[in-house]
Amino acid sequence: MKIKNICCIGAGYVGGPTMAVIAQKCPEINVTVVDINAERIAAWNDEDVENIPIYEPGLSDIVKEARGRNLFFSTDVDGAIDKAEMIFISVNTPTKTYGIGKGMAADLKFIELCARQIARVSKNDKIVVEKSTLPVRTAEALKNILDNTGNGVNYQILSNPEFLAEGTAVQDLQNPDRILIGGDIDTEEGLDAMQALVDVYAHWVPNENILTTNVWSSELSKLTANAFLAQRISSINAMSELCEKTGADVNEVAKAVGMDSRIGPKFLQSSVGFGGSCFQKDILNLVYISKSFGLNEVADYWEQVIIMNDHQKRRFASNMVKTLYNTVSGKKIAILGWAFKKDTNDTRESAAIYVSDYLLNEQAEIVIYDPKVTSEQIFSDLEYLGTHSSEEIRERVKVVNTAHDACKDAHAVTILTEWDEFKDLDWQAVYDDMLKPAFLFDGRRLLDRSTKEKIGFEFYAIGN
């Protein structure tokens, strides 16, 4: 079966970039990305392609190339479903904030709404692709809804998890380590549907990098991959604390262990704690699933990754307070970086939010600079926590337009996102404009200790 029309429900960090690359690589396929968020769709359609809602290096060029040719962004969800032979579901699956599984399970209400909408609208057979990260066995629930509420058409459900990382999404999509496609391997219809999706990716991904499995393995592999990645960070962060007590340097330790080819060098960068929309939510989901099968040891094992991450954020903030003579009340602290990693404007679960909240609890005055995050986003992230009133936050937090402005007259500066521009700041000028002693806390191991100490900074870096 040759796919001519693809619909993707969800124009977010995954749906947008993923579909842009499919449209770029498959010019004969029409790709329509739909969303209920009209503002987001309007931004994707903005005449000035630099105003698309997601900042990813290289993405605006691809959108410029394909938009209006075979890439479309629309709020007409029904129309796009009706026209497509293949529908990707790429909506958000956040941690539940209510009811059974609150704080742990994935909230599948958006997924279910999509399924019901597909069932209502579809008048011919469809291949439905799970692109969102979902608990293992969600395909079963989807099939149930589609088969029982639909118009008698046939559905094939595929699992095709996305492994892109933000900040490198375009590169990851254009040269993926692997494409994973899970489906019903026991029926001819299932195999045909899987082949149709293989054919889409085969436009640019070598065949040996396209992996097909049963649908449950595919669903579970996504949660497993994120759990393993996050576990490496919590492992190295656990070592960072031990390094600080013993005189070892976590970067040297990471390099030494990473040169063992069985361990490998990637994902061993110690930090103030991992953020992002997925690691925490996916691990909590894994913990919840394990518990629901009565696998308490499995659940506890993975939960420790989150416990360690929370500890790392807290201990970084509390170390700042301790170093600043046990009080930051009324002191000005400059925060450089708000995004959860460099090269993205995404702030979800960013360590900066939690460190700032801790400092606000200690009555600090905070000045924030991030090159890609808006002040509205920063205020909304802090307000979302609910620990401080909107008035208090607006009184005690300022957002400025340059790193240097943030640091002026500050008692301490802290780097919470590893933006390249912070490496090249005129640190002498920053020092000159700060109150003395001038404290510098590097939560990302971005800066060189000896040059900063030579300038006169009191320098603290994670794991060193």
Ligand X SMILES: NC(=O)C1=CN([C@@H]2O[C@H](COP(=O)(O)OP(=O)(O)OC[C@H]3O[C@@H](n4cnc5c(N)ncnc54)[C@H](O)[C@@H]3O)[C@@H](O)[C@H]2O)C=CC1
| Residues binding ligand UGA (CB under 6 A) | 133, 162-166, 226, 229, 233, 267-269, 271, 274-279, 340-341
Compare residues 37 and 323 and give the one whose CB is closer to ligand X: 37
Distance CA 89, CA 161 (A): 10
To the question of whether residue 281 is assigned a binding role by annotation, the answer is yes
Cβ-based neighbours of 369, under 8 Å, separated by 6 or more: 334, 335, 336, 337, 399, 400, 401, 402, 403, 405, 406
To the question of whether residue 431 is assigned a binding role by annotation, the answer is no
Contact window for ligand X (CB under 6 A) among 35-43, 195-203, 206-214, 398-406: 35-43
What are 429-433's contacts with CB under 8 Å, separation 24+?
Answer: 429/404, 430/403, 430/404, 431/455, 431/456, 431/457, 433/404, 433/407, 433/408, 433/409
Active-site position among 7, 26, 114, 278:
278
Contact window for ligand X (CB under 6 A) among 10-18, 144-152, 195-203, 287-295: 10-18
Distances from the Cα of 191 to the Cα of 6, 32, 134, 217, 356, angstroms: 19, 25, 21, 15, 51
To the question of whether residue 95 is assigned a binding role by annotation, the answer is yes
Helix (H, G, I), strand (E, B) or coil at 179: strand
**Residue 448 neighbours by CB distance under 10 Å:** 14
User: Binding string to ligand X for residues 262 to 301, with x set by CB under 6 A, is what?
Assistant: ---------------xx-----------------------
User: Binding string to ligand X for residues 355 to 394, with x set by CB under 6 A, is what?
Assistant: ----------------------------------------
Helix (H, G, I), strand (E, B) or coil at 159: strand
User: Binding string to ligand X for residues 62 to 91, with x set by CB under 6 A, is what?
Assistant: ---------------x------------xx
Q: Which of residues 206-235 bind ligand X (CB under 6 A)?
A: none
Q: Is 26 a catalytic residue?
A: no
Tokens standing for residue 428: 């002498």
Helix (H, G, I), strand (E, B) or coil at 458: strand
Compare residues 14 and 434 and give the one whose CB is closer to ligand X: 14
Q: What backbone phi and psi angles, to 5 degrees, belong to 170?
A: -65, -50
Q: Are 96 and 102 in contact (CB under 8 A)?
A: yes
Q: Give the residue at shortest CB distance from ligand X.
A: 12
Question: Of these, 1, 36, 211, 306, which contacts ligand X (CB under 6 A)?
Answer: 36
To the question of whether residue 13 is assigned a binding role by annotation, the answer is yes
To the question of whether residue 117 is assigned a binding role by annotation, the answer is no
Q: Residue 253 binds which one of ligand X, ligand UGA, none, with CB within 5 to 8 A depending on kind?
A: none
**Residue 213 neighbours by CB distance under 10 Å:** 17
Minimum CB–partner distance for residue 349 and ligand UGA (Å): 8
Q: Which of residues 88-117 bind ligand X (CB under 6 A)?
A: 90-93, 110, 113-114
Q: Residue 381 binds which one of ligand UGA, ligand X, none, with CB within 5 to 8 A depending on kind?
A: none
Closest CA to 338 of 325, 328, 349: 349
Tokens standing for residue 435: 């109150």
To the question of whether residue 43 is assigned a binding role by annotation, the answer is no
Distance CA 82, CA 369 (A): 45
Distance CA 341, CA 190 (A): 39
Distance CA 59, CA 73 (A): 15
To the question of whether residue 103 is assigned a binding role by annotation, the answer is no
To the question of whether residue 372 is assigned a binding role by annotation, the answer is no
Contact window for ligand X (CB under 6 A) among 13-21, 141-149, 395-403, 454-462: 13-21
Quote the DSSP letter at residue 445: S
Q: What backbone phi and psi angles, to 5 degrees, belong to 242?
A: -70, -35
Minimum CB–partner distance for residue 285 and ligand X (Å): 9
Helix (H, G, I), strand (E, B) or coil at 412: strand
Closest CA to 441 of 325, 341, 334, 326: 334
Helix (H, G, I), strand (E, B) or coil at 64: helix
To the question of whether residue 243 is assigned a binding role by annotation, the answer is no
Compare residues 241 and 418 and give the one whose CB is closer to ligand X: 418
Minimum CB–partner distance for residue 57 and ligand X (Å): 14
Q: Are 444 and 463 in contact (CB under 8 A)?
A: no
Compare residues 80 and 355 and give the one whose CB is closer to ligand X: 80
Distance CA 53, CA 351 (A): 22
The residues assigned a catalytic role are 278
Instruction: Give the annotated binding-site residues.
Output: 10-15, 35, 40, 91-95, 132-133, 166, 278-281, 348
Instruction: Give the annotated binding-site residues for NAD(+).
Output: 10-15, 35, 40, 91-95, 132-133, 166, 278-281, 348
Binding site for ligand X (CB under 6 A): 9-15, 34-37, 40, 77, 90-93, 110, 113-114, 132-133, 162, 164, 166, 277-278
